[in-house]
């Protein structure tokens, strides 16, 4: 920042999820087969997709130990389908966290319902069960919990709350495949768990998503929502599932090429997570001397999958603002960002309470009897972390290695050594 050599002078390698020979061969075989999608939006064999889609779903079902895995063309469409599958609709509220990617809350608006934001915990940045309880009303239909940055939320406490109040619990596990709590995978404790396979996740298909569940009815509803369900239901004759007619279908189908990549990628998840964990453990150990920087918290009985390596910056300890620290680190050439996404309720859609046309729906829909609250100060912990404390880096992943960790620590050391000068920065 004040001149002189940077710690790192070269760009980071492109994000790589060990895409290699296995993916190449599967894609080429699919191209040679010339059937790039196996779906048909009509009743029959092709309603559930082609051979690659089915293999990918088998792979996820086996990995997560669930009875069903339903693939989608994104986690956003999987989340929308999950919300619709559990029966959320106009007039309903769904409790969500403010700190996440926007789709974690917007999927509720997609179902014409109202997201209600509950605050997060300091330690894991995930939903705080005590705050969730305070937000339950007679209109609450479901809770969407996000296992953020690779760490499971307090899923068991949230499961108890959702059972007690007869609410559905949906886990947005887009960032945390392979994370676990008491030996159970995050994503498998709620009624439905959603994974993302977009290109910056732990494993990828370019774009894609998967929902895992042990609930037959939800799985079937998600399959229908994924693939023009209203068409199929016109010919459906299953008397055991009387509420199945309440389905609006979309086209959320995964292609055979994407599935070819995904069925190879799931085999590599454990290897990729091992790299993330090794790098994160060595970075955590190396940051111990720096009291102004708290490395990621890992709760007892939990395992972290380190989508991001998240730190809490303590301005009082450092003597300057978090953003000065980030500027100084970035000047050293290392990858670091302040704050993650803004609290979701600060987005204009929530501030203006206009989503569809100019009717004010779903926030001021005639079916909705509540008062949406998206005012500043709504979730003080999320706001403080975003504005002042949260710092993330994504260096702890393949193909990065010990060099990237060493450089990061060297940059922290240099910045710490310049405390007096930095404390005069605005
Ligand atoms: C927590 C979370 N939820 C949902 C999504 C949406 O995923 P996709 O891009 O696959 O729709 C993301 C993507 O970044 C995410 O991080």
pLDDT tens-place string over residues 63-86: 999 999 999 999 999 999 999 999
Answer yes or no: is the C-beta of 98 below 6 A from any ligand 1 atom.
Answer: no
Answer yes or no: is the C-beta of 101 below 6 A from any ligand 1 atom.
Answer: yes
User: What is the per-residue pLDDT for 300?
Assistant: 95
Report which ligand 1 atom has the smallest distance to the Cα of 208: 10
Burial 303-324 (b: 16+ CB within 10 A, else e): bbbbbbbbbbbeeeebebbbbb
pLDDT tens-place string over residues 347-385: 999 999 999 988 899 999 999 999 999 999 999 999 999
- Say if residue 233's pLDDT is above 90: no
pLDDT tens-place string over residues 398-411: 999 999 999 999 99
Residue 244: CA count within 13 A, CB half-sphere: 24
Region 190-198: mean pLDDT is 98
Region 287-306: mean pLDDT is 97
Rounded to whole angstroms, how far apart are CA atoms 178 and 273? 7
Pocket test for ligand 1, best of 75, 107, 310 (most atoms within 8 A of CB): 75
Q: 75: CA distance to ligand 1 center in Å?
A: 6
Region 103-115: mean pLDDT is 98
Helix axes 75-85, 103-110, angle to 10 degrees: 50
| 337-338, strands of its sheet edge to edge | 293-294, 309-313, 390-393, 337-338
User: What is the per-residue pLDDT for 45?
Assistant: 86
CA-based nearest residue to 314, from 325, 304, 329: 325
CA-based nearest residue to 82, from 104, 114, 102, 52: 104
Rounded to whole angstroms, how far apart are CA atoms 35 and 139? 45
- Say if residue 102's pLDDT is above 90: yes
Q: CB 42: neighbour CB atoms within 10 A?
A: 13
Q: CB 295: neighbour CB atoms within 10 A?
A: 18
Pocket test for ligand 1, best of 100, 101, 150 (most atoms within 8 A of CB): 101
- Say if residue 303's pLDDT is above 70: yes
Answer yes or no: is the C-beta of 196 below 6 A from any ligand 1 atom.
Answer: yes
User: What is the per-residue pLDDT for 243?
Assistant: 63
Instruction: Give the pairing type, strands 293-294 and 114-117.
Output: unpaired
**Radius of gyration (C-alpha) of the chain in whole angstroms:** 22
Question: pTM of the prediction?
Answer: 0.97
Q: 273: CA distance to ligand 1 center in Å?
A: 18
- CA of 34: how far to CAs of 26, 37, 42, 48, in Å? 13, 9, 21, 18
CA-based nearest residue to 60, from 247, 299, 262, 252: 262
Contacts of 384 (CB under 8 A, 6+ apart): none
Are the C-beta atoms of 268 and 17 separated by less than 8 Å? yes
Answer yes or no: is the C-beta of 303 below 6 A from any ligand 1 atom.
Answer: no
- Say if residue 238's pLDDT is above 70: no
Confidence at 241, pLDDT banded by 50, 70, 90: low
- Say if residue 22's pLDDT is above 80: yes
* Token pair in block for residue 400: 């990065």
Rounded to whole angstroms, how far apart are CA atoms 269 and 63? 10
Region 177-198: mean pLDDT is 98
Are the C-beta atoms of 124 and 385 separated by less than 8 Å? no
Answer yes or no: is the C-beta of 176 below 6 A from any ligand 1 atom.
Answer: no
| 140-146, strands of its sheet edge to edge | 68-72, 209-213, 192-196, 168-172, 140-146, 93-96, 114-117
DSSP 388: I
Q: 196: CA distance to ligand 1 center in Å?
A: 6
User: What is the per-residue pLDDT for 242?
Assistant: 53
Task: Give CATH 3.40.640.10 domain extents, the chain.
Answer: 21-267
pLDDT tens-place string over residues 314-325: 999 999 999 999
- Say if residue 159's pLDDT is above 70: yes
- Say if residue 245's pLDDT is above 90: no
Task: Give CATH 3.90.1150.10 domain extents, the chain.
Answer: 269-340+382-422
Region 197-226: mean pLDDT is 97
DSSP 175: T
Specify the higher pLDDT residue, 246 or 126: 126
Q: What percent of the chain shows pLDDT beyond 90?
A: 92
Q: 101: CA distance to ligand 1 center in Å?
A: 6
Answer yes or no: is the C-beta of 75 below 6 A from any ligand 1 atom.
Answer: yes
Report which ligand 1 atom has the smallest distance to the Cα of 77: 11
- Phi and psi of 71, rounded to 5°? -85, 155
Q: 20: CA distance to ligand 1 center in Å?
A: 24
Are the C-beta atoms of 279 and 395 separated by less than 8 Å? yes
Pocket test for ligand 1, best of 198, 211, 305 (most atoms within 8 A of CB): 198
Answer yes or no: is the C-beta of 209 below 6 A from any ligand 1 atom.
Answer: yes
- Average model confidence (pLDDT) for the chain? 96
* Token pair in block for residue 375: 């005012």
Rounded to whole angstroms, how far apart are CA atoms 100 and 52? 31
Report which ligand 1 atom has the smallest distance to the Cα of 148: 1
Answer yes or no: is the C-beta of 202 below 6 A from any ligand 1 atom.
Answer: no
CATH: 3.40.640.10, 2.60.320.10, 3.40.50.740, 3.90.1150.10. Which one for 21-267?
3.40.640.10
Region 181-196: mean pLDDT is 98
- Say if residue 236's pLDDT is above 80: no
* Token pair in block for residue 42: 């009509």
User: What is the per-residue pLDDT for 426?
Assistant: 75
Answer yes or no: is the C-beta of 146 below 6 A from any ligand 1 atom.
Answer: yes
User: What is the per-residue pLDDT for 237?
Assistant: 66
Rounded to whole angstroms, how far apart are CA atoms 366 and 201? 39
User: What is the per-residue pLDDT for 232?
Assistant: 83
Confidence at 244, pLDDT banded by 50, 70, 90: low
pLDDT tens-place string over residues 23-67: 999 999 999 999 999 999 988 889 999 999 999 999 999 999 999
The CATH class, in words, for 269-340+382-422 is: alpha beta
Specify the higher pLDDT residue, 206 or 239: 206
Task: Name the residue at shortest CA distance from atom 14 of ligand 1.
Answer: 101
User: What is the per-residue pLDDT for 247?
Assistant: 86
Please name every residue paired with 393 in a beta bridge, in sequence order, or none if there are none: 309
* Token pair in block for residue 133: 């309880």
Answer yes or no: is the C-beta of 140 below 6 A from any ligand 1 atom.
Answer: no
Answer yes or no: is the C-beta of 204 below 6 A from any ligand 1 atom.
Answer: no
- Say if residue 193's pLDDT is above 90: yes
How far does the chain reach from its first CA to its final CA, in angstroms? 13
């Amino acid at each position: 920042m004040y001149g002189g050599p940077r710690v790192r002078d070269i760009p980071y390698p492109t994000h790589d999820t060990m895409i290699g020979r296995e993916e190449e061969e599967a894609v080429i075989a699919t191209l040679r087969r010339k059937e790039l999608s196996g779906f048909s939006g009509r009743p029959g064999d092709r309603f559930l997709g082609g051979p690659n889609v089915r293999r990918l779903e088998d792979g996820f079902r086996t990995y997560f130990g669930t009875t069903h895995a339903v693939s989608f063309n994104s986690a956003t469409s999987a989340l929308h389908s999950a919300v619709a599958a559990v029966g959320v609709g106009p007039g309903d509220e769904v409790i969500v966290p403010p700190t996440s990617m926007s789709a974690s809350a917007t999927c509720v608006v997609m179902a014409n319902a109202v997201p209600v934001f509950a605050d997060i915990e300091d330690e894991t940045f995930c939903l705080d069960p005590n705050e969730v309880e305070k937000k339950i009303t007679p209109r609450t239909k479901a809770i969407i919990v996000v296992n953020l940055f690779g760490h499971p939320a307090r899923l068991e406490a949230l499961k108890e709350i959702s059972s007690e109040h007869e609410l559905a619990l949906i886990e947005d596990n887009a960032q945390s495949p392979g994370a676990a709590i008491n030996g159970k995978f995050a994503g498998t404790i709620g009624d439905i768990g959603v994974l993302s396979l977009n290109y910056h996740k732990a494993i990828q298909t370019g774009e894609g998503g998967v929902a895992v569940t042990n609930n037959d009815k939800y799985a079937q509803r998600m399959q229908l929502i994924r693939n023009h369900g209203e068409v199929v239901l016109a010919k459906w004759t299953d008397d055991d599932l009387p509420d199945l007619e309440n389905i609006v279908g979309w086209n959320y189908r995964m292609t055979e090429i994407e599935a070819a990549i995904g069925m190879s990628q799931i085999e590599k998840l454990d290897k990729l997570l091992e790299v993330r964990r090794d790098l994160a453990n060595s970075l955590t150990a190396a940051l111990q001397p720096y009291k102004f920087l708290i490395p990621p918290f890992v709760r007892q009985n939990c395992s972290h999958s380190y989508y991001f390596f998240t730190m809490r910056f303590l301005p009082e300890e450092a003597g300057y603002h978090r953003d000065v620290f980030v500027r100084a680190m970035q000047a050293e050439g290392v990858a670091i960002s302040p704050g993650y996404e803004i609290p979701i309720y600060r987005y204009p859609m929530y501030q203006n309470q206009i989503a569809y046309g100019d009717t004010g729906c779903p926030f001021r829909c005639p079916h909705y009897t509540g008062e949406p609250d998206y005012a500043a100060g709504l979730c003080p912990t999320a706001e403080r972390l975003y504005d002042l404390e949260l710092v993330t880096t994504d260096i702890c992943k393949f193909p990065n290695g010990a060099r990237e960790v060493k450089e990061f620590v060297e940059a922290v050391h240099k910045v710490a050594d310049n405390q007096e000068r930095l404390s005069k920065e605005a």
